[in-house]
Each structure stands twice: as structure tokens, then as C-alpha cells.
């Protein structure tokens, strides 16, 4: 289990049990949901929703735009990237999303985040329009520095050190400068994550595109949704009707119902609802149905 950047520590003990309402108990370990009992509905085991093929591809599209730029820059500097680094980089990209969600959850205020490249704004009322793209900019800066730091270090290892040549000294200096750039980018990235999480405290959802650029906040969903689209609750990374349960809308609040309506129309969207008294839920349309995951993982080990 990792500690989140920004000075926030995991809760003490192995397990934490919270009574958040009448008949509503949540059991967590660190930042991961173990089980939730809510009105007789028991949710067990967390699922990494980024392993759901459709959702993973949604975030991969935005990541690829950033990664292609970094790859080109590294190539120009004489340090071409490899396939292993691409996987490493995508893991960090997903970690950013998880950290935004976790920090929003910590506020205990409730909120919602919609990932969509929506063109038809008639289905949303955006009360506060902004263009905040620092996540992708800082991620590219951090990622390039991360690759160059390791590449220069390997070059130093393979360079003879017998006479401490000028080339060696320049390499050391370059690596120190790169490490400073990397640290600066990471600190700024943490602040940008904090800022986006803070926006969830304003009533309405936060609208973000696939490059994790904020397009607005305090947004209201005004579409009526697709009345023929059925919704299901699932715990599977390969959701189908046979491994899911039909959703009862009455069990959920306004945020959940409105996000389900929106996702029924936008097949490329991924919605997250942060409950004020429970876990973070994700929902997306797969095929002709909307699926909701009530037990998503918000932490993984070994990241930034």
C-alpha cells in the first residue's frame, strides 16, 4: 500500500470499520474498500475498473496523445523510449486518476467527475467554464525527466570512469538538472491533483476530457437519458448481464441517477460518483447497457 503524496497518511491499523448511517457500514484497508453493507446490499472485493477493456481504452486514448509527444522529444534528444517504459508511463497515468478520486473522497462532501470529450453541450449546463490543462502538461514534463534520468544513469554506468573525463562530469551535471526538473514537475502535479479534487466540493460534476484537462465544474446533467437503456450493478472487469444485477434507481441519490442517465446516451463517457457517506462508484455504457461498479480500487502500490 502506498502513501499518497502531499503528506497524507494511511489510517492506522489493518482494517477500518465506519458506521456512516442506519444500516450502512463500510470496511476499508488503507485506501481500498474491503466491503460495504448498505440497506441489506453487501458489496465485497474491490475491482480495478481500469482493467475493464472499454474503460481502459478511454484513458489510453488520452494517455497516447501525451506519450507520443514525450516519445518524440526523447527521440530528438537521443534517448528513444521502449515498450516497457510505455507500460510504466500508463500505470502512472492511471495513478493520477485514482489519486484525484481518493483526494475528492477524503473531503467527505460528495461529488462527481465525468470523463468525456463531449461536443453536444446541450445535455450539460456548465455553470463554471475553465480550461485547466496542467495535468497533461506536467505529466509530460515529469515523464520525460523520468525517462532521461534513467537513461543518463545507464549511460554513466557504461562509461569508463578511469580518468573522470569531461564527458562524465557533464553527464553527472545533466542528470542532476534532470532530477531537479522531475522533482519540480511532481510537486506541481500534486498541487494540480489537489486543485481538481477541490472542484468536486462545488455542487455539480467536474467535466474532464480524456487528456485530464478540466473543461468546467459545477455542471448539471440536463439530459433525460435513453429510456430504453437498462442499468446493472457489477463487480466484474468483463461485465455481462449474467454476472450483474439489475439496478434499482430508488436505492441511489440524485448524483448517481443523473450520471446513469448521462452515460446511457454518451457511450464513450466514464462517470465517477463520490458518495459523501460511502465509496466511489464508476459507471459507463458497454454495448447497449450501463454498468455501475460500487467497489472500485483507489490505490495501487509502487507509484509516484
Residue 283 lies in a domain: yes
CA distance 189 to 102: 15
**Domain coverage including residue 230:** 16-293
Residue 233 lies in a domain: yes
What pLDDT was estimated at residue 32?
63
What pLDDT was estimated at residue 303?
45
In a 10 Å sphere around its CB, with 0-12 CB exposed, 13-18 middle and 19+ buried, how is residue 107 labelled? middle
CA atoms lying within 13 Å on the CB side of residue 23: 5
What pLDDT was estimated at residue 11?
64
Q: How far is CA 139 from CA 38, 142, 149, 184, 189, in A?
A: 38, 5, 15, 11, 7
What pLDDT was estimated at residue 300?
43
Residue 288 lies in a domain: yes
What is the domain-level CATH number for residue 201?
A: 3.40.1700.10
Q: How far apart are the first and last CA of the chain?
A: 12
CA distance 57 to 64: 10
Looking at the structure of the chain, the number of domains it has is: 1
Q: What is the pTM of this model?
A: 0.82
Residue 248 lies in a domain: yes
Residue 214 lies in a domain: yes
Residue 10 lies in a domain: no
pLDDT along the chain (304 residues), means of 10: 45 75 71 66 74 93 95 91 93 93 86 89 89 96 92 64 54 79 94 96 95 96 90 90 86 90 93 84 94 78 44
In a 10 Å sphere around its CB, with 0-12 CB exposed, 13-18 middle and 19+ buried, how is residue 267 labelled? middle
What pLDDT was estimated at residue 150?
82
What pLDDT was estimated at residue 20?
63
Residue 11 lies in a domain: no
What pLDDT was estimated at residue 22?
67
Residue 207 lies in a domain: yes
Amino acid at each position: 500500500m502506498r502513501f499518497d503524496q502531499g503528506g497524507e497518511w494511511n489510517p492506522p491499523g489493518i482494517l477500518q470499520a465506519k458506521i456512516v448511517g442506519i444500516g450502512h457500514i463500510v470496511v476499508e484497508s488503507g485506501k481500498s474498500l474491503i466491503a460495504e453493507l448498505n440497506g441489506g446490499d453487501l458489496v465485497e472485493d474491490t475491482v480495478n475498473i481500469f482493467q475493464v477493456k472499454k474503460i481502459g481504452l478511454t484513458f489510453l486514448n488520452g494517455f497516447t496523445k501525451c506519450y507520443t509527444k514525450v516519445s518524440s522529444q526523447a527521440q530528438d534528444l537521443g534517448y528513444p523510449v521502449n515498450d516497457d517504459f510505455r507500460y510504466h508511463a500508463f500505470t502512472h497515468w492511471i495513478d493520477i486518476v485514482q489519486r484525484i478520486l481518493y483526494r475528492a473522497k477524503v473531503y467527505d462532501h460528495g461529488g462527481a467527475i465525468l470523463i468525456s470529450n463531449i461536443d453536444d453541450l446541450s445535455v450539460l449546463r456548465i455553470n463554471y467554464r475553465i480550461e485547466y490543462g496542467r495535468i497533461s502538461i506536467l505529466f509530460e514534463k515529469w515523464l520525460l525527466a523520468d525517462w532521461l534520468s534513467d537513461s543518463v544513469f545507464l549511460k554513466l554506468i557504461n562509461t569508463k570512469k578511469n580518468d573522470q573525463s569531461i564527458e562524465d562530469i557533464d553527464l553527472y551535471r545533466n542528470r542532476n538538472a534532470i532530477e531537479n526538473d522531475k522533482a519540480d514537475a511532481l510537486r506541481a502535479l500534486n498541487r494540480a491533483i489537489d486543485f481538481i479534487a477541490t472542484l468536486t466540493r462545488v455542487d455539480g460534476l467536474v467535466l474532464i476530457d480524456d487528456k485530464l484537462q478540466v473543461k468546467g465544474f459545477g455542471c448539471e446533467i440536463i439530459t433525460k437519458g435513453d429510456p430504453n437503456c437498462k442499468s446493472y450493478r457489477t463487480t466484474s472487469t468483463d461485465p455481462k448481464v449474467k454476472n450483474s444485477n439489475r439496478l434499482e434507481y430508488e436505492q441511489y441519490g440524485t448524483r448517481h441517477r443523473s450520471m446513469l442517465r448521462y452515460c446511457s446516451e454518451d457511450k464513450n463517457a466514464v462517470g465517477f460518483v463520490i458518495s459523501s457517506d460511502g465509496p466511489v462508484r464508476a459507471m459507463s455504457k458497454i454495448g447497449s447497457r450501463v454498468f455501475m461498479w460500487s467497489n472500485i480500487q483507489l490505490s495501487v502500490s509502487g507509484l509516484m
